[in-house]
Amino acid sequence: MRSTVGAVPSSRAASPPPPAPPRRRRSYRLGRWDLSYSPYLYIAPFFVLFGIFGLFPVLYTAYVSLFDYELLSGTKEFAGLENYRELMADAQFWNAAYNTVGIFILSTVPQLVVALIIANLLNRQMRARTLLRMGILIPNITSVAAVGIIFALIFADRYGLINWLLGTVGVDPIAWRDNRYASWFAVAFMVDWRWTGYNALIYLGAMQAIPKDLYESAALDGASAWRQFWAITVPLIRPTILFTVIISTIGGFQIFTEPLMYGFGLVRGGADHQFQTLAMYIYERTFTGNAEYGYGSAMSWLLFMMIIIFALINFALVRRSVKGEQK
């Protein structure tokens, strides 16, 4: 025992520079840690913030959705899937889902098509090009509440601009709020007014990354401008199109302020809930009346699922149709 202990210094003295190896090993280890762990450290702020403000609320919402939880009366009792069962039979919820999908389709399809056309027009040599390119983004930077108020006036039933114009050419005024589809159209119009330019600018960015020689050789082969657009531009910006479709799906399903302002601030969304969207209905049940947090959380989770499903469906649809054009 003792001899072994005593032997240690002698063996250490034998090895060339005694303190050097550990230090070198430490810096080596630090270097390796730096290489393998610091990237995680650099992106950690996002994930920490996301965990606190994104993931935790989502999970907590799922937890709350299992309770009969009303803030006003203070009840909080475990209810299992009762909220979801009630939700399945809630006609107003499905009416709101119908409205949301309707407004979504009515706004997103024309919006993206028009954005694509505008982007293609702007992707040319023309005068005041930068001014025009920046100009189409202006509607997007206006406050959504202001847009809502102005369009609620334009689409007013009695003294509105559109009904007045229709009157001057002898057309009967349209019941912009009582008619379900008219109200959808007006809300979709507001959404498009704000977001078409934004999407056009994103498409334009993608189009400028397409090599010019592709168009040159297509032109040499005698392809028309239309053919070039469909056979070169659209397939090559497909990832961008997919991106805008997903983002529009997420935004479209959460539409809230536009229909709210359109209905003069009432979450009811028209006398018969003609344009009450899911977000409005969630707000109605969660933040007014009895403040039913449990039920509101269940609705939020179902909306979350619906957004994922619709995003996937849209993704598949667009991918397939755009691929078809490529051949």
Q: Which residues bind another protein (CB under 8 A)?
A: 50, 53-58, 60-61, 64, 71-74, 152-153, 156-160, 175, 178, 239, 242-243, 246-247, 249-250, 254, 264-268, 270-272, 282, 284, 286-289, 291, 296-297, 300-301, 303-304, 307-308, 311-312, 315
State which residue, 215 or 304, has the beta carbon closest to another protein: 304
Q: Which is nearer to another protein, 96 or 303 (CB)?
A: 303
Q: How far is the CB of 198 from another protein (least distance, A)?
A: 15
- Classify 78 as helix, strand or coil: strand
Closest CB to another protein among residues 35, 91: 91
Residue whose CB is less far from another protein, 136 or 189: 189
The Cβ of residue 8 has, within 10 Å, a number of other Cβ atoms equal to 9
Query: At closest approach, how far in Å is the CB of 65 from another protein?
Result: 10
CA–CA distance, 88 with 326 (Å, rounded to integer): 42
Within 8 A by CB and 6+ apart from 275, the residues are 99, 103, 177, 180, 183, 184, 187, 259, 262, 263, 269
Nearer CB in complex with another protein: 102/160: 160
CB of 121 to another protein, least distance (A): 27
Instruction: Find the shortest distance in angstroms from Cβ 15 to another protein.
Output: 50
- Residue 118 neighbours by CB under 8 Å, 6+ apart: 136, 196, 197, 200
Contact 299, 278 (CB under 8 A): yes
